[in-house]
Amino acid sequence: MSSTLEIEDLNGASEFEHVYRVRCSDSGLDAFIAIHSTVLGPACGGCRVWSYPEPSDGQADVLRLARGMTYKNALADLRFGGGKAVILGPIPEEKRQHIFTRFGNAVEQLGGSYITAEDVGVGVVDMETVSTETNFVSGLRDRGAGCGGDPSPSTARGVLRGIEAAAKEKYARSDLDGLTVAVQGLGNVGRKLAISLLEKGARLFVSDIDKDRAEQFCHGRNATYVKPEFILLSDAQVIAPCALGRAITEEVATTMHAGVIAGAANNQLATNEVGEILMNRGILYAPDYVINAGGIIMAEAEYYNNDNQDGVNNKIDRIIDRTLDILSRSKHDGRPPHLHANELAQAIVERRAQEIAAGA
């Protein structure tokens, strides 16, 4: 291992077990790894590559994402705690393999406290590179049980189930035929979700920062291209944010037309106040980490080699019941759904921490 790899524990947030800055001068790797909690198991969460205005923005993002992974894994009843990694981009293509090799070195040095996988800007090939340096990685391949690899189809399946649950609660619908859905972002998950929605008979409005990709997707399909700056305000029944987080700002929340928000992106609400605005306007928000858990459900089965694809799909399909339960709690007491989801997840972690303390 190169001596140029540096792992600095920032210890910057008391809520977190560890926050690391990882740098390597020979490859150009510059990353953050956040371990929010290992109470339920090793911290697992994907690695994303993104260009942030400042490194501090990347650090703030990794903290939000790692906390969300703790909640996501808790509610999905997985043997994982919450963690996340971000590699500061852009990264030169000619250095990509070297960067992910060094990232794998860093994950190995953490000794299994963090398990990595794919996220935005990262693919199976990158994780295969990581796996040459560490076994603490998922999203690679079928390890024998009959599931594994790219987590995006599983993530899309879960989001589809979340949309079905929200449409049932908001519109009393038993199917999605004729439902209008605005999909923001046609990346790995967004595209697969959009195709599944079309198969269910939905009519789509779609947008992507790559206009050509979005327009090509629409060709020959019941889908209409909308400019990125207008997609969240589309005259649709459901908004499905599938790009980066914090897309639902206070301005969007006060002016949007849709009655449901249910998408794949993490950390969709820009502030807690946004959740209150949505609640007051009668707009249902299906908490992102509740409905986008399909990928991590698959990753757990792959990592522990303890389930096949049918079993994984059955676990993903339970997202419908979890979403309906949270939306029902919200309707009953008039508090935003994301607060209920947070509290349920926190209770699971706290209960397990008490059991550990008692020697259970």
| Same fold: 5-67+81-131 with 152-347 | yes
pLDDT at 316 over 80: yes
Beta bridge partners of 47: 85, 118
The gap from C-alpha 86 to its chain's centroid, in whole angstroms, comes to 13
Cis check for the bond before 90: say yes or no (omega within 30 of 0).
Answer: yes
What pLDDT is recorded for position 16?
A: 95
- Contact assessment for residue 99 and residue 88, using Cβ atoms and an 8 Å cutoff: no
Least reliable range by pLDDT among 74-78, 87-91, 335-339, 355-359: 355-359
Q: Are the C-beta atoms of 242 and 264 separated by less than 8 Å?
A: yes
> Above 70 in pLDDT, residue 282?
yes
Output the six-digit token pair for 86: 């971000």
CB-based burial of residue 100 (10 Å sphere; 0-12 exposed, 13-18 middle, 19+ buried)? buried
CATH topology of domain 5-67+81-131: Rossmann fold (3.40.50)
Query: Where in the chain are the domains?
Result: 5-67+81-131, 152-347
How sure is the predictor about 2, in pLDDT bands with cuts at 50, 70 and 90? very low
> Is residue 37 classed as helix, strand or coil in its secondary structure?
strand
- Share of the chain residues as helix, strand and coil, in percent rounded to the nearest 5: 45, 20, 35
Whether this prediction's pTM lies above 0.85 is answered by yes
Tens of pLDDT, residues 115-163: 999 999 999 999 999 999 999 999 887 666 678 888 999 999 999 999 9
The pLDDT value recorded for residue 1 is 44
- Residue 153, both tokens: 């189809």
d(CA 242, CA 187): 8
Residue 84 appears among annotated catalytic residues: yes
Confidence of residue 96 (pLDDT cuts 50, 70, 90): very high
On the question of pLDDT at 3 being above 60, the answer is no
Exposed/middle/buried for 221, CB within 10 Å: 0-12, 13-18, 19+? middle
pLDDT above 70: percentage of residues in the chain: 98
Cα separation, 116 vs 101, in Å, equals: 13
pLDDT tens sequence across 203-253: 999 999 999 999 999 999 999 999 999 999 999 999 999 998 999 999 999
Model pLDDT for residues 26-50, shown as the tens digit of each residue: 999 999 999 999 999 999 999 999 9
State whether CATH 3.40.50.720 applies to domain 152-347: yes
Sign of CA dihedral 254, 257, 259, 263: negative
* Residue of 72, 84, 170, 315 with catalytic role: 84
